[in-house]
Amino acid sequence: MAEAAVVQVAAPWVLLAAVLLGALALAGSSLDGALAARAAGRPAGTGAGRPLTEVARLMRQRRRTTVAADRLLWRLATSSFVVAALLMVAVVPLGRWTLADASVGVVWFNAVDVLVWVLVWLAGWGPNAMHSLVGGYRFLAQAMAYELPLMFALTAPAVAAGSLRVGDVAAAQSAESGSGLPFVVWMPVAFVVYCIGVLAFSVRGPLSPAAGPALAGGVLGETSGLDRLLLLAGRSALLAAGAAFAVPLFLGGGSGPLLPDWAWVLVKTAALLAVLVVVRRRLPDVRPDRFLALGWTVLLPAALLQLLVVAVVVVGRS
Amino acid sequence: MTLEAVLIVAAALFSVGLYGALSQQVVVMVMMGLELMLNGVVLAAAAFWWFTAPAPSLQALLVVVLAAMTVEMAMGFAVATLLHRTSGADMTDMAGDLRG
Amino acid sequence: MDLARDIALGALGVVAVVTGALVFRVDSMARATYLLAASFVAVGASVVLLHLDYVGVVVVLMMLMEMAVMGVYMVMFMGMNPALMPMSMVHSGRRAVIAAVTCFVLLAVGILLVPWPTRTEVPTSALPSSSEATTYALGDALMGDHMLVMMVVSQVMLATIVAGIVIAQARGRYERLGDDLKGGSR
């Protein structure tokens, strides 16, 4: 609670944050495309360019709509995924600079990831179509499973650092002002639970019954044109934002040899993003009800035990 | 003067919620009215905290209000589910007798 | 800075009341639910402006979550959909309006007449520059002087979880998995 570990920059820098987030999201999507192409037996290069051609295609595509769609809520939801991702990275310090040095940054991140519940359900409700709405419901059912473990996973680093300010959490892991040990080393369970939460709220892959092929696209099914582009970009950005937030929380923030601290933040984010994209392709699909049992009987107790260990260590240290 | 203004807003929220809680027929809408009333209470408590006595006790009161909201929602949904299953009722008027 | 804060507070107050009132005016179940969510977000933001950062953000977090669940229940239990079949979904509307207006007038008169105590100086623990001090004070109170609050609330929450499940579940695990819980009669 002494001097500020990070400096808050002026609001126009949000543009830089948006560009960086967009670049990370695009890189993640390209990697995913390359992996998909290789898995299908095509050269990886054709898949890596897929996100860009998809952007060009969707920008030219005419918007389709459905009968009696709730257009206001639908548009609001599809266009807000990107905003939610930006709100998440707003509290992530890039080395010494941050957009919003909020005193409750960790809770803020949590509140924004709950906003994703609302957005996915509204994106499902908007088009007045069955598969979309079922997708929205399935997402909420799954959210019940991942949210509580995710909350406790977020709590662990905050308890260890004794602060909810993201900059302080990062500082507690740096060699100069803290222990020099990234939290991931002694809270691996919290880190894994956090990553599962990130995979789940980015509406993609195995933990995404909301938008899978089993539901004919689910919440994505009826979207087209710019709406679809924003929704796809938003979920890639959410995965990137989740990876970025893990850096100050678990991976030691900007600390590292040789490179400046802002570069380390980007390198670590990109590395975690790549790992998440690769892992996501390897996991089997999980039905929401099975995942609910897993979340409440395995993930939640594991996260609580991790929190207990952290709390005991903190008390013992002081 | 700001304290009074914020309290008036809180009173307006409370009254709108009261209207909803008294007038709505569907159980879920009644609960939304109750939530709105508690919303006003949260705002009023926060205003008191800042404008009269920034002491931690009032913050603890806010935590209690938030807990009350959660309990109200959880029990409300549980009872609504039970009512619907046992007697097919989704309106308060249908649940006049407690025999189920 | 203070003026900007007052203007923002006023605007948020208007948003909170207007969205709150619209909840009972719109036809769409989803819109009603998320208008209430908007009202809560406005109040949460006001609470943050009143220097209670932690409580304000928690209000937003909790209420977005609750309203997402509320939306599901709205669709589930609004047996007759006023959007499909225009009808009045209120009973004793006139009496409710009278009660609400009376309540507001009484409260407003009280608010304006009571000589509220004013704080003599801004305490350092509540200055915006040290807003974690506020959060810290809350935690300190809940784990120290006001521990009883925490203990009671946590017991009530646990009781709520258990009671909610007991009341709401249709078939217990013995019914689903058989008497030996081995999963026979699924």
Mapping DSSP onto H, E and C, the string for B46-97 reads HHHHHHCCCCHHHHHHHHHHHHHHHHHHHHHHHHHHHHHHHHCCCEHHHHCC
Q: How far is C8 from chain A (nearest CA, A)?
A: 18
B39-68 residues touching C, CB cutoff 8 A: 39, 42-43, 46-47, 49-54, 56-57, 59-60, 62-64, 66-67
pLDDT of residue C127: 53
Between A129-138, A225-234, B28-37, C123-132, the lowest mean confidence (pLDDT) is in C123-132
Q: What domains are defined for chain B?
A: 2-95 (1.10.287.3510)
Mutate to test the interface with C, among A107, A289, A297 (most CBs of C within 10 A): A107
Of A142, B32, B25, give the one whose Cα is nearest residue C73: B32
Of A80, A37, A84, C40, give the one whose Cα is nearest residue B13: C40
If DSSP codes are grouped into helix, strand and coil, which group holds residue B26?
A: strand
Other beta carbons within 10 angstroms of residue A57's beta carbon come to: 12
Distance, CA of A272 to CA of A270 (rounded, Å): 6
Distance, CA of C29 to CA of B26 (rounded, Å): 11
Of C2, C40, C6, give the one whose Cα is nearest residue C23: C40
Cβ–Cβ pairs < 8 A, chains B and C:
225
Give the torsion through C-alpha atoms of C68, C73, C79, C82, to 10 deg: -30
Tell whether A55 lies on the interface with C, counting CB pairs under 8 A: no
Residue A102 reports pLDDT greater than 90: no
Dig out the tokens for C131 from the structure.
């807003």
pLDDT of residue C88: 58
Residue C185 reports pLDDT greater than 50: no
pLDDT digits (tens, 9 = 90+) for C97-110: 899 999 999 999 99
Strands, E, within chain A: which ranges? 7-8, 97-98
Mutate to test the interface with C, among B1, B8, B22, B49 (most CBs of C within 10 A): B22
Give the residue-averaged pLDDT of A240-248: 93
pLDDT of residue B1: 58
Give the torsion through C-alpha atoms of A250, A252, A256, A261, to 10 deg: 110
Between B61-70, C44-53, C79-88, the lowest mean confidence (pLDDT) is in C79-88
**A7-8 vs A97-98, strand pairing mode:** parallel
Over chain A, what is the mean pLDDT? 87
The DSSP code sequence of C129-165 is GGHHHHHHHHHHHHHTTTHHHHHHHHHHHHHHHHHHH
Could you tell me if A242 and A88 are in contact, meaning their C-beta atoms sit under 8 angstroms apart?
yes
Give the residue-averaged pLDDT of A91-111: 87
Residue A34 within any structural domain of the chain: yes
Domain count for chain A: 1
pLDDT of residue B96: 59
Residue C121 reports pLDDT greater than 80: no
What is the ipTM for the molecules in this complex?
0.87
Q: C16 or C2: whose pLDDT is higher? A: C16
pLDDT tens, N- to C-terminus, chain B (100 residues): 588 889 999 999 999 999 998 888 788 888 899 999 999 999 999 888 888 877 777 788 888 888 988 898 889 888 888 887 877 666 666 665 554 4
Distance, CA of A284 to CA of A287 (rounded, Å): 10
Nearest CB neighbour to C54, from listed A107, A137, A147: A107
Residue A101 within any structural domain of the chain: yes
In one-letter notation, the amino acid at residue C146 is H
Cα dist from A49 to A92, A234, C18, whole Å: 29, 18, 48
Give percent above pLDDT 90 in chain A. Answer: 38
Model pTM? 0.89
Give the residue-averaged pLDDT of A234-245: 93
Which residues in C lie closer than 8 A to residue A111 (C-beta atoms)?
57-58, 60-61, 64
Mutate to test the interface with C, among A75, A118, A147 (most CBs of C within 10 A): A118
Over chain C, what is the mean pLDDT? 82
pLDDT of residue C1: 57
Residue C81 reports pLDDT greater than 70: no
Residue A106 reports pLDDT greater than 80: yes
pLDDT digits (tens, 9 = 90+) for C54-75: 899 999 999 999 999 988 888 8
Max CA separation in chain B (angstroms): 52
Of A126, A124, A119, A121, give the one whose Cα is nearest residue A69: A126
Q: A204 or A265: whose pLDDT is higher? A: A265
Tell whether C31 lies on the interface with A, counting CB pairs under 8 A: yes
Which residues in B lie closer than 8 A to residue C119 (C-beta atoms)?
51-54
Could you tell me if A184 and A260 are in contact, meaning their C-beta atoms sit under 8 angstroms apart?
no
Residue A4 within any structural domain of the chain: no
pLDDT digits (tens, 9 = 90+) for A138-192: 899 889 889 999 999 999 999 988 888 888 888 888 877 777 788 888 899 999 9
- β-partners of residue A176 are none
Give the residue-averaged pLDDT of C146-154: 88
**Yes or no, beta carbons of C57 and A115 under 8 Å apart:** no
**Yes or no, beta carbons of C167 and B8 under 8 Å apart:** no
User: ∠C41-C44-C45 over CA atoms, to 5°?
Assistant: 90
Instruction: Look up the domain containing A201 and give its range.
Output: 10-317
Of A72, A48, B76, A106, give the one whose Cα is nearest residue C26: A72
